[in-house]
Amino acid sequence: MKTTADDTEGMKIALQYYWSCLKRYPRSLWGIALSMPFTTLFSRYLPPLMIAHVLDKLIKHNYDASDLLGSFGGEMALFIAVLLVGIALWRLVDFFMWRLEQNIQQDIAEHVFRHLQSLSLNFHANNFGGSLVSQTNKLMGGYVRIQDSTIYQAYPMLWGILWAIIILAPQAPQYAIGLAIFSVIYLAVSWLLAKRIYVHLARFATAESKQTGMLADVITNIGVVKSFARSKYEMERFHTATSTTRRYLKRFAIAHQWQMNTQGLMSRVISSFAFIIAVIAVTRYNANIPIVFLMFNYTLTIVDQLFDFGNSTLRSYNRALSDAREMAMKLTLKPEVQDPLHPEKPVFKQGAINFENVTFRHDGADDAIFEGFTVNIKPGEKIGLVGHSGSGKTTFTRLLLRYSDIQGGAITIDEQNIAHVTQDSLHEHIAYVPQEPLLFHRSIRENIGYGDLAAKDKAIIRAAKLAHAHDF
């Protein structure tokens, strides 16, 4: 299992990756950044301020009971207008948010798809396909979690605290300062608790990905499982995986409960403190009731937002980053086999294949599979590779296809080094039938025509008949 340092590094990589995606859309970012402050003001902080104004008129009897419309008509119209502006501003925020999410979700999906295709077969042989799919979905879902939590919770909360201080400072400066200090302390404590919880969530996410990969691996090879009567054996292995996942989830749950208890206690203390101050201020110091109402209202609003931030927002951040960590780190991997910076155009005509003094060993292996290996295959010549398992038959083919790079020598086709052309152009000139049957979950027509996407129906039908697959 990963160490705490690895978990933290993965979190940083995920954050950096998400930020690199966001920077591509400055208009949407600025739209949200500029509209949210006023959205928060109009939807949460101006309405109580207007109510306090009306309350002040009621307390001072500054109205005509026989003409309520004349006394409060302006306030009513303004109150409704403020609410409508708040709704309109929220829709503007939603517009920018959805625009941002649509673009970035597509960018992430295409980036991961392109990157995974560029990685070597060795990478894919050592990683469950199911785990990679799960990690991709988690990377995309993690962005949505972070975006929603930031736009709808964290960012409005920060502006809410600022607006409350600005509005209260002229009337109750000491209380405004105290509210600001409490907010900073609460946020700091929440952040420290969240850092401890992140470790448990990261390990839970890793265990969950392994569990998903194991499930996909067994389902993919279900025929082998049934043929060897290994259903019970696989069930025991899967039970071990689910037990590990459950154990890390339990540790997270315990840590999360401690976090909620701490933050819940802090929230209740400040709410009770605000209530006591309100009562004492009015009864003993004859404080202005509308101002006291405003103080208490803003305090409860901020306390609720702070609690949601500590309980929900930070949890979403933790879950999103722990989910995104694995795929974000894989996106930093460089392909083992890379195309040349200035590729040559293939000039393969006859098909003469030469292995010239080739040396190759797998990563981490002491012994070379090929050492000074030389072989010449004439155009049109048919050969067979014979040898025991591990003697290099499959490796020979993989090197010709440049699925791996050699450590010495050269492989040429018609005297052109295959490392000097792009991998796609090389593969376009080689007809390769792998040992194992490989099928996409698509139509038979699409599978047969995969080698030539421009193939006509007549050619595909002919190929199907030759393969005795026309009646499928």
For residues 283 and 297, give the distance between their C-alpha atoms in angstroms, rounded to a whole number: 18
For residues 154 and 320, give the distance between their C-alpha atoms in angstroms, rounded to a whole number: 15
pLDDT tens-digit profile of 393-422?
889 999 999 999 999 999 999 999 999 999
When the pLDDT of each residue in the chain is averaged and rounded to a whole number, the result is 88
Q: What is the pLDDT of residue 92?
A: 96
Q: Can you tell me the mean pLDDT for 244-257?
A: 90
Domains and CATH numbers, the chain: 4-330 (1.20.1560.10), 353-438 (3.40.50.300)
- Counting residues of the chain whose pLDDT is more than 70, the rounded percentage is 96
For residues 272 and 168, give the distance between their C-alpha atoms in angstroms, rounded to a whole number: 19
Given a cut of 80, whether residue 29 has pLDDT beyond it is yes
Cα–Cα distances in angstroms (integers) from residue 374 to residues 358, 377, 381, 414, 446, in the given order? 6, 10, 16, 15, 39
Q: What is the pLDDT of residue 394?
A: 86
More confident residue, 381 or 452: 381
Residue 413 sits at φ, ψ, to 5 deg, of -125, 120
Q: What is the pLDDT of residue 1?
A: 45
pLDDT tens-digit profile of 298-330?
999 999 999 888 888 988 888 888 889 889 999
Quick one: tokens of 148? Answer: 């929603």
Signed CA dihedral, 75, 79, 82, 88: sign only: negative
More confident residue, 391 or 74: 74
Q: Is 471 exposed, middle or buried (0-12, 13-18, 19+ CB in 10 A)?
A: exposed
Q: Can you tell me the mean pLDDT for 179-187?
A: 91
Cα–Cα distances in angstroms (integers) from residue 101 to residues 106, 226, 358, in the given order? 8, 44, 50
Given a cut of 50, whether residue 3 has pLDDT beyond it is no
Residue 354 sits at φ, ψ, to 5 deg, of -130, 125
Residue 152 in contact with residue 159, Cβ under 8 Å?
no
List CB contacts of 48: < 8 A, sequence separation 6 or more: 293, 294, 297, 298, 301
Q: Alpha helix locations (H) across 150-172? A: 155-168
Given a cut of 70, whether residue 2 has pLDDT beyond it is no
Given a cut of 60, whether residue 386 has pLDDT beyond it is yes
Q: What is the pLDDT of residue 7?
A: 64
Q: What is the pLDDT of residue 265?
A: 86
35-46 in b/e form (b: 16+ CB < 10 A) is bbbbbbbbbbbb
DSSP for residue 449: G
Quick one: tokens of 153? Answer: 């919770």
DSSP for residue 41: I
Sequence length of the chain is 472
Least confident of 238-242, 374-378, 389-393, 396-400: 389-393
Residue 369 in contact with residue 362, Cβ under 8 Å?
yes
List CB contacts of 137: < 8 A, sequence separation 6 or more: none
- Counting residues of the chain whose pLDDT is more than 90, the rounded percentage is 47
